Each structure stands twice: as structure tokens, then as C-alpha cells.
Amino acid sequence: MTGRSGTTYRSGMIRDAYGSPASEAFMVVAIATILITRAYLELTHYPQVGGKSLHIAHALYGGAAMMLALLIGWMFIGFGVRVFTVLLGGIGFGLFLDEVGKFVTKDNDYFYGPSSEIMYVLVVLLLVFSRIVREFRRPSVDESLANAAAIAADGVAHGLPEHRRDWALRMLARAEAEGADADTVAGIGLLLGRCRSSTSRTHSLWNFVPRLIPAFFTSPRWIPFVGWGLVLLSGAGVVFGIVELVIGDLDIDRRDLTIDIDGMGIASGILFVSACLTFATALPAMLRLRPEGPLWPLRILRVSALIFTLLNALVDFAQEGFAALFNVAIGLFALAVISHRITVRTAEIADVTAESAASQVVRDSDRSRTVEPGR
């Protein structure tokens, strides 16, 4: 690849534009599979497949599903194939991960207590890794060209939905602006233009599902409730943590009064760090948050909710097992509320910017017409 300066450079590993969303969908499917499997086994009283002498664990089915997902992904091309392999691989990984307790204990204990925490930590690490790969730098010229070409190649065989064609054209425009070879850009653009139009059921479903959410849950009135709730909960956690640090291991037992404050252990230390980080980010965000204000308080508030949910869930899974899912669901609801509001405000700001630019064009045009007769 040759840039505008004439120097030749090559990128290292090329990231797939759909790679991070696919990996996140893979983990969501895996989590759903674990929950469904646990619920099914509980309802059916943990049946065994294989008779009296054998027990065919569902981890084997999971391994077979992951193997099939890999083979299909290697043997076929197309966006539909990717969606299918993500679904099949996610189901397989969920079935495999559900039996992690058998793999880490000598007596093959499926009900091993920390297994839920092991699952949680692994899922979080994989999701964080996916985000790091996606966000650590903006796409290079090579990556923009390669992804646009991959979309065009898929369009040759299966046609292209308009949203994917537009995405590819935006990547081409970015690559051209950053010095990509003009002939390469023109060739990929020509191929994209020749691809027949098609529809995407996945995209249609993705746009349809949010419409099923009641307006009550998408109201901006949730933001102050969620934000100040984070401030109060984390503030209480900070105070309680300081008390543990200062007067820990205190035990007072009288007839009319009993006070027992344990010293700070690993679990309470994680909660204290979570409370400090959440309070230090949520409070300034809420003090500067305005209904029609900038986006940065909302973004910081989302980081606060993410820290609070992830770190607290680490302790909850260790102490409560799968019962911690209720607390995680509350944290995920807070994240969903804040993320939805960020999406809405981003669209509103974009509309205001576009209207302002259009108004400026009109004013410039009127000014030029006013000056013209004087000439």
C-alpha cells in the first residue's frame, strides 16, 4: 500500500469490521445457552444420557457444535454463514462451559460452587479483549480497503443490503481520504455498485426488536434515577469500606447493643475499590448532567455503571453463585438505559448540527444574492 507521501507500508493483522460484534454475539449466545441448560436440567431433575454405565456429558455436544462451526466457517463464505457459525459456535461454547466444574475438580463436581465465578470471569475477559481489539486504534487504510472488498465479494455471490453497501462505501471514502491507491478504491467501488440489492432479515430483526420495548423503559426520566442511585450506593460503599479499614475486627457485645465489624478481606476490598471508582466518576457526571447538555456526562456515567456492575458481580458470583444473576440483571438494565439515552442524544446532536449547517448555507446564499446587485 502506497500513501500520499509515496512511502510504502503494510499493516499487520487485519481486523474484521464485523469481528467484534460477532464475538460479542457469540458470548451472548453462550450465556443464554448456559442459563437455558441449567434451567432445563433443574426442571428435568438432571437426567443422564447413556444408560447405567455411561454418561454422555453435554460438553461433548458442545465440542461437536464448535467443531462444526469451525468447519462450516472454513468451507463456506458469506455473511449468512457467519451468522450461522456464530450461533452454532456460541451454543457449543455454552454447553462446554456449563460443565467447567467437572474439569477443575477431582470428583467431577458439576455443582462446584466457584464454577459460576469461573464462567463469569472468562466471559468478561473475552468481552474486554474483544473491545480492546476493536478500540485500541482506528482502522488503517489496509483494513478499510480489505473490509470493503470483503463486503463486495459477499455481494457478488448473495447481493448486498443497502446498509452494508453504505458501510462499505464509507470505509472506501475513509481509505481514499487517508491516501489509498485511487485505482484500488475505484475498482472496489465499481464492484460494490454492480452488486445486486438484497434484504437482510438479521438487520430487519435488529431494527424491529427495540420497537417491542415499552416506552416506559426508554424514558429519559430513568437517567436521574439510575445516576443518583449509583452515587448513593457507591457513596455508602465508600463509607462502609473506610469504617472497615479504620475500625475493622471490632466486636462489641452488650445486653442492649451488639456491634460486629469484620476486617477488610479480598471480597470487601473489591467492593471498596468498586465503590470508590464508581463514586469518583458518577458524582461529577451527575453534577454536570443536563437534559439537553453534552454527551460526556452520559458517557462517564455509563463507565461508572459498567465498573459497578462488573466488579460487584465478581464478588456476588463468588459468594452467591448463580443467584448473583439478579444483581447483574439490575446492572445491565442501568447500562441499557444509559446507552439508549446516549444513542438518542447522539442522534439529536447530529440533527442539530445538520440543521445548523443547512441554515448557514442558506444564510451564505442569501448574503451572496444581496451583494450581487451592487456589482
Q: What are the tens digits of pLDDT across the range 134-192? A: 877 888 899 999 999 999 998 988 888 988 899 899 999 999 998 889 999 999 999 99
Other Cβ atoms closer than 10 A to 296: 11
Exposed/middle/buried for residue 95 (C-beta within 10 Å: 0-12, 13-18, 19+): buried
The mean per-residue pLDDT over the stretch 34-44 comes to 90
78 CB-near residues (< 8 Å, 6+ apart): 154, 157, 158
Q: How far from 195 is each of 162, 191, 215, 274, 352, CA to CA, in Å? A: 10, 6, 39, 51, 34
% of the chain beyond a pLDDT of 90? 35
pLDDT exceeds 90 at position 97: yes
Between CA 294 and CA 303 the distance in angstroms is 16
Residues 301-353 pLDDT 10s = 999 999 999 889 888 888 888 878 888 888 889 988 998 889 888 888 877 77
- Tell me the pTM: 0.78
- The mean pLDDT of 219-241, rounded to a whole number, is 91
Q: What are the φ and ψ backbone dihedral angles of 201, each rounded to 5 degrees?
A: -65, -35
Instruction: Taking residues 94-116, report their average pLDDT.
Output: 89
